[in-house]
């Protein structure tokens, strides 16, 4: 695993998951709250993954051109971004159309008609 993340696991956990994952979550919220398509969240997650890889290289002496590391970082950020996007999108839909939809969970909604 150390070769895949190309740095210490604590750096991956704290920097990529917590810091950049938090930025990804807020990115997902921002994209969903402005009713933009999910493709924009994917684009921004890739950009955050590239920024994450560069900052790990600059701050923690990690590998800059590690393709598996970039893919892993981007996948983690995209997963967290997707969670923020889905939760916010469901809240917006239920808030805007309460006569049509009701929330059945954080990630799910159902039609009130059937």
7 Rama sector, left if φ>0, alpha if ψ -120 to 50, beta otherwise: beta
The answer on pLDDT for 98 being more than 50 is yes
Residue with tokens 């290289």: 57
* Closest among 81, 65, 106, 84 to 16, alpha carbons compared: 81
Q: Provide the residue ranges of all domains of the chain, joining segments of one domain with +.
A: 2-88
Give the per-residue pLDDT at 113.
83
Q: 27-46, pLDDT tens digit by residue? A: 999 999 999 999 999 999 99
Paired with 2 in beta bridges are none
């Amino acid at each position: 695993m150390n070769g895949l993340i190309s740095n210490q696991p604590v750096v991956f956990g704290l920097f990529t998951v917590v810091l950049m994952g938090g930025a990804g979550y807020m990115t997902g919220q921002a994209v969903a709250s402005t009713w933009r398509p999910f493709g924009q969240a994917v684009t921004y997650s890739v950009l955050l993954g590239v920024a994450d890889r560069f900052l790990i290289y600059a701050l923690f002496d990690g590998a800059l051109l590690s393709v598996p590391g970039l893919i892993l970082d981007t996948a983690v950020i995209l997963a967290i971004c997707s969670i923020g996007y889905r939760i916010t999108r469901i809240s917006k839909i239920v808030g805007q159309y309460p006569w049509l939809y009701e929330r059945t969970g954080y990630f799910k909604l159902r039609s009130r008609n059937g």
